[in-house]
Chains A and B, each alone.
Chain A
Amino acid sequence: MPDPWTGAAAQRYKRTVVRALKSVPGSSQGPTDAALVTAARAGESWAQEALFRRYSRMVNGLAFRIMGRDGDVDDLVQDSFLEALRNLDRLDNPQAFASWIGSIVVRTAGKRLRKRSLLNRLGLRRATPIDADTILSRDAPPDVQADLSRIYASLEEMHHEARTALILHRVEGMSLPEAAQTMGISLSTIKRRIQSAERVLTEAAREEGA
């Protein structure tokens, strides 16, 4: 059976796809996710790069919002894409690449946050609060700024799972079922985690008011 990815026309096609996605990262123009995943599974590096170009902004954004620090983002993005590209065969529905990579980012970030909190407890690291001013857009309306500042100021005090749940629900705007699916947990568990995170926020607000 002839290889569908050889030949001059195929080479031109690959170049065109990658070039288009490089110039407009995140664009949904061009081949479907399913087509890219199928080609990437076959070892086509252009398709792997095209998947990265299409979802790099989304993944960078999610990583940034969960970690709350720009310095943590690059490694997390790289690790997440590496895991995704290594395990493409496990993706049941190739068209669902976006939500799948989102879950990978959440899981990878969770591992890092967990390790970090253990290092804190061992005294090998000192927790530093997130400086909301450095991560929030100046275009945000005052009420949004206040809300986000409140969330990010208390983030380091939360358990990492509660923190991730809160970010997915309150910052990413995911519904509870969506957030539960992304984290790979049940609806009742995500509710408990968000409640736990909100207790930390309430406590912080009370202390501030005192």
Chain B
Amino acid sequence: MSEPTKYAAFVAPELSKARLDAQWARISERRSPERKGRHPAIPAVGLLVAACAFGVVWWPRESRSTGESVWEGSVVASDDAPVEMTLAEGTRIQVDPRSEVKLLHSSARAVQVRLAHGSARFDVAKRRSRRFSVDLGRVEVVVTGTQFRVLRKDGPAGDRIQVTVEEGSVEVRRPDSGVVALHAGENWSTVIPREQIEPSADEVSALEETRAEAGQETPEAEEDDDELYEADVRSHAEARTSTARVKGVEGAEVTADDQLDHIDEDSAERSSRRRAISRERRRRRVREAAVGAGELFDQANLARRAGSLELAAELYDDLVAQYPRDRRASLAAFELGRLRMDSLRDPRGAVQALERALKLDGHGEFAEDALARLVLAAEARGERESCLRAQQRYLTRYPDGVHSQHVTERCGGQ
């Protein structure tokens, strides 16, 4: 047996204050479901909200860097000093001087922010279940949890857009040039000619399609690595038509063209890049596969049908714990109770799950079955008093129910 070795100091995550704040914000939010939808900083941002009704908020220099939260529809415009703000879901945004940011949409599934002009730094809270994007007109930056900076500046040739990734990775999407993936230490810039600054209706729908595709990826939509690699190369090839540039941390600047040639010529680099792409996409698929009540429910059913009953039980349990208000939660709780009782030999856990199912929907189509199963579970545990109470509960509600005879015979009855 080996001796203990203390290596913890050499394997530690990067913990910024923003990250810890975001973690605590999420814990607090999940601790207080009754307050969901109500903002924790209502008194502090009251004036801000009132001002938002008029369209724009100007932050005076003295009160910048408040760390206050903003709501959907808020516009934050800075003067000569930067402004820091925190979205309700924990993301922190530093709006640089003379810049303007608008929170277009904010929900549990998606957050969309528009940088109207200027620059801003985003420290995006890591949340698996929501899509975070920054709208830059003809360009959209999509992230899942990272730190990056964007700049949008009106110049003589048009709109100059620059994205710099400090941590994690982002995807830059354009309706006319596909997707460019950027990783930590890389930056991407382009100039949108003045006449193209506002996208046409067709381009808007193309952008919407790419956004929809991104949101609809499922684990079933398995693509093999070659296809993923080819798709990535194609997106780089399309990027050649733009003035996009990718620059490494060391400052050695290469165009997307160069990068593509580099990939084609260098097989080692190609192989490594290919692995990185497939790894990233696989990770995203798994992550996406694990979120959302619908997906959890589908996965649980799939696992149950495949005979992985413990996994199925865990997934149903997750659904009930994470999405108690979802319409599938009560059915998931019932299925959990059934599995624990029939297959996992856990009558105590079954009782908890069945009671939960009844609490979530006491009059659902499975309520009668749940009440009958509570009788059987109590009997299986040898708890005569509980069994009799459960029996009485069933017979009171369903005196002529389909299980009434069976239930009557339980608990050492007739």
The contact string, 1 if C-beta is below 8 Å from chain A, for chain B 301-328, is 0110010101100110000000000000
Q: In the complex, what residues of B have CB within 8 A of residue A173's CB?
A: 4-8
Q: In the complex, what residues of A have CB within 8 A of residue B126's CB?
A: 71, 74-75
Q: Name A45's closest neighbour in chain B (CB-CB).
A: B28
DSSP class of B's interface residues: helix, strand, loop or mixed?
A: helix
- Contact between chains at A136 and B11 (CB < 8 Å): yes
- Contact between chains at A128 and B279 (CB < 8 Å): yes
Report the minimal beta-carbon distance from A14 to chain B, rounded to whole angstroms.
15
Q: Name B19's closest neighbour in chain A (CB-CB).
A: A74
B219 at the interface (CB under 8 A from A): yes
Pick from A64, A85, A118, A172: contact of B13, CB below 8 A.
A64
B10 at the interface (CB under 8 A from A): yes
Using A82-B31, A118-B311 as known contacts, say yes or no to A147 and B7 having CB atoms under 8 A apart. Answer: yes
Pick from A78, A124, A198: contact of B2, CB below 8 A.
A198
In the complex, A133 Cα to B200 Cα: how many Å?
45
Report the minimal beta-carbon distance from B272 to chain A, rounded to whole angstroms.
11
In the complex, A43 Cα to B162 Cα: how many Å?
47
- Contact between chains at A78 and B306 (CB < 8 Å): no
In the complex, A45 Cα to B40 Cα: how many Å?
13
The contact string, 1 if C-beta is below 8 Å from chain B, for chain A 157-200, is 00000000000011111111000000000000001001100100
B282 at the interface (CB under 8 A from A): yes
In the complex, A56 Cα to B17 Cα: how many Å?
11
Q: Name B287's closest neighbour in chain A (CB-CB).
A: A71
In the complex, A136 Cα to B14 Cα: how many Å?
11
Report the minimal beta-carbon distance from A169 to chain B, rounded to whole angstroms.
5
- Contact between chains at B314 and A115 (CB < 8 Å): yes
B20 at the interface (CB under 8 A from A): yes
Partner-binding segment picked from A2-10, A29-37, A93-101, A137-145: A137-145
A122 at the interface (CB under 8 A from B): yes
A119 at the interface (CB under 8 A from B): yes
B15 at the interface (CB under 8 A from A): yes
- Contact between chains at B31 and A171 (CB < 8 Å): no
B44 at the interface (CB under 8 A from A): no
Q: Name B299's closest neighbour in chain A (CB-CB).
A: A124
Question: Which parts of B302-361 form the interface with A (CB within 8 Å)?
Answer: 302-303, 306, 308, 310-311, 314-315
- Contact between chains at A139 and B2 (CB < 8 Å): no
Q: In the complex, what residues of B have CB within 8 A of residue A124's CB?
A: 219, 289, 299, 302
B30 at the interface (CB under 8 A from A): yes
In the complex, A111 Cα to B4 Cα: how many Å?
25
Enumerate 29 A-B pairs (CB-CB under 8 Å) in ascending A order.
Answer: A52-B27, A53-B20, A56-B23, A61-B13, A64-B12, A65-B8, A65-B12, A70-B13, A70-B14, A71-B287, A74-B19, A74-B127, A74-B145, A75-B128, A78-B23, A78-B26, A115-B314, A115-B315, A118-B308, A122-B308, A124-B302, A125-B289, A126-B282, A128-B279, A137-B10, A140-B10, A152-B11, A173-B4, A173-B6
The interface of chain B, by Cβ under 8 A from chain A, is 1-2, 4-15, 17, 19-20, 22-24, 26-28, 30-31, 126-128, 145, 219, 279, 282-283, 286-287, 289, 299, 302-303, 306, 308, 310-311, 314-315
With A78-B23, A136-B11, A173-B7 given, name 6 new contacts (CB 8 A): A53-B24, A71-B126, A78-B27, A124-B302, A152-B11, A171-B11
